[in-house]
Structure 1
Amino acid sequence: MKKTAIILGASGLTGNILLQKLIADNTYKSIKLFSRSKMEGLPSEVTQFIGDLLKLEQFKSDFTADEVYCCIGTTKAKTPDKEVYKQIDYGIPVAAAKLAKENNIPTFLVVSALGANAKSPVFYNKTKGEMERDVQKQNIKNTFIFRPSLIGGKREERRTLEKIGLAIFKVIQPLFIGKLKQYKITEPEDIAQAMINLANSTSHAEVIITSNDIKRITKNT
């Protein structure tokens, strides 16, 4: 029986790659996008729900599927206001998890970040950690939290510091061995494929998917 998937964050780098993969995957009959603005040129199996994601509850009746893929995320550069940042990076994923629980969606996958820790003194790590904690509190049957390192790939918007960071990381990556492997650049294609693989897996018990595991899971097609 073919499935229905929900994506939040389909206009972002990882989310858009995920969307294209799901469109090409015959396992899925329907894909629902929840976003602030409409995306053009999508096939008929994609349905778009446009509105304020900070008020996700308004979509409750349409928030039905077999799986929820949450790729929502902002950056300090794009969202310097910490309160707004938390509303996005914490508020939207947690609200989505609550709706998934209420609507009996059995699988919830969300992109977090390496270093997420609810007890961290660093605001951004703490925010991600609190998000992970409260997503897990929903006790959704199949919950998968992805913690990638610095995400590679090409973005439409210009992020000068991020480009410099990626360039440096690419040069020094051969030095990342042993425990340092987790800091290697994580490609968005790998995150998207690992999410799909786990959503269609019946044997994976881990909730937290580290950057080291993402590449391995990608190969398990």
Structure 2
Amino acid sequence: MTTGKPAKVAMVVGATGATGKVLMKYLLESEHYNQIIVVHYRSTPWASHPKVREIVMSFDQLKALEAESKVDTLFCCLGTTIKKAGSKIGFTKVDQDYVLALGQWAVSHENPSFHLVSAYGANAKSLAFYMRVKGETEKMLNSMGLRSLSLYQPSLLHGDRNEFRFMESVGFYVMSLLSSLPLASMKVLRPTRIEALARLMYEQSLLDISGMRVFRPSDIAACE
């Protein structure tokens, strides 16, 4: 069924990650999007898809990113761990510097709606390094003048991943157990399903809403 509205153009950064891959499935199957621009540091499995235009570039050069088409929606699914990044500096580069570079790009390129995968507990004043970086990133994005900013704050992500993360697997079972306790405050600890997160991001991208919105674990779980 068609809506009569012009088809949209999406840009996805972080398409090969756990959330990005599921989000790509929704976008490629969608009648609302006729083009998906995938920005990655190497070629992706979608390079030959008729709806995809791939831009291969170093993320260090994101400020120089050029898109031939007007972008309606920008999805940022970037994320790493300190272990994988090799240091706190490396982690900050991926989870903050690259994200802010995309925010600046959006503001200067017709201000598409911006959708970011963050984390529940993100707080610029947090004593925990991970949460502090996430919170600082959210705060700085919100001050940039983005027309529409959607922040998704999942709990521990659960679903298919490209790599096995032992501590996350342990955390999944611990948090699942805690969330089953009859305490309202524990429910937020319920692991977030990647499928639900990607579905919510896709559905929200179809709405024309200005300002900042924050989606927490309970909001994401409603999409299951």
Q: TM-score, normalised by structure 2?
A: 0.90
Check 1:156–1:203 CA distance in 2 against 1; reply closer, same or farther (3 A cut). closer
Are 1:181 and 2:193 matched, yes or no? no
Q: CA deviation at 1:206?
A: 5.6
Equivalent of 1:122 in 123, 128, 132: 128
Alignment-mate amino acid for residue 154 of structure 1: D
Partner of 2:80: 74
- Pair 1:36–1:203, CA change in 2 (3 A): closer
Deviates more, 1:80-89 or 1:198-207: 198-207
Q: Which runs of 4+ in 1 moved over 6 A?
A: none
Is the counterpart of residue 102 in structure 1 residue 108 in structure 2?
Answer: yes
Distance 1:9 1:50 in 2: 12
Higher mean C-alpha deviation, range 38-47 or range 143-152: 38-47
Paired residue for 1:32? 37
SS in 1 for 2:65: helix
> Identity across aligned pairs (percent)?
27
Say if 2:219 is the partner of 1:207.
no
The equivalent residue for 1:136 is 142
- How many aligned positions are there? 218
1:4 to 6, 9, 20: 9
Q: Deviations over 1:28-62 (max 9, x none)?
A: 00000111111125511111111111220121355
Q: CA deviation at 1:163?
A: 1.6
Classify the secondary structure of the residue corresponding to 1:90.
helix
Which residue identity lines up with residue 94 of structure 1 in the other structure? L
Could you tell which deviates more after superposition, 120-129 or 158-167?
158-167
Deviations 1:187-218 (A, max 9, x none): 111111111111112468661111111223x3
What is the match of residue 13 of structure 1?
Answer: 18
Structure 2 distance, partners of 1:16, 1:176, is: 34
Is the CA contact 1:67–1:107 (under 8 Å) kept in the aligned structure 2? yes
Q: Which residue of 2 aligns with 1:192?
A: 198
Worse overlay, 176-185 or 126-135: 176-185
Extract unaligned runs of 5+ from structure 1.
none
List alignment gaps of at least 5 residues for structure 2: 1-5
Question: Structure 2: which amino acid aligns with 1:163?
Answer: S
Note if contact 2:119-2:152 (Cα within 8 Å) is conserved in structure 1.
yes
CA change 1:75–1:26 in 2 (3 A) is: same
Equivalent AA in structure 1 for residue 179 of structure 2: Q
Q: Aligned Cα RMSD in Å?
A: 1.9
Q: Which moved more, 1:131-140 or 1:10-19?
A: 131-140
**Contact 1:63–1:100, Cα closer than 8 Å, also in 2:** no
- Paired with 2:142 and 2:69, the residues of 1 have a C-alpha distance of 19
Contact 1:118-1:127 at 8 Å conserved across structures: yes
> 1 CA distance for matches of 2:139 and 2:106?
16
Match of 1:90 in 2: 96
Q: 2:155 aligns with which of 149, 153, 163?
A: 149
Quote the Cα distance in structure 2 between the aligned partners of 1:212 and 1:204.
22
Q: Judge conservation of contact 1:22–1:28 (CA < 8 Å) in 2.
A: yes
| In 1: Cα distance, 2:128 partner to 2:50 partner | 43
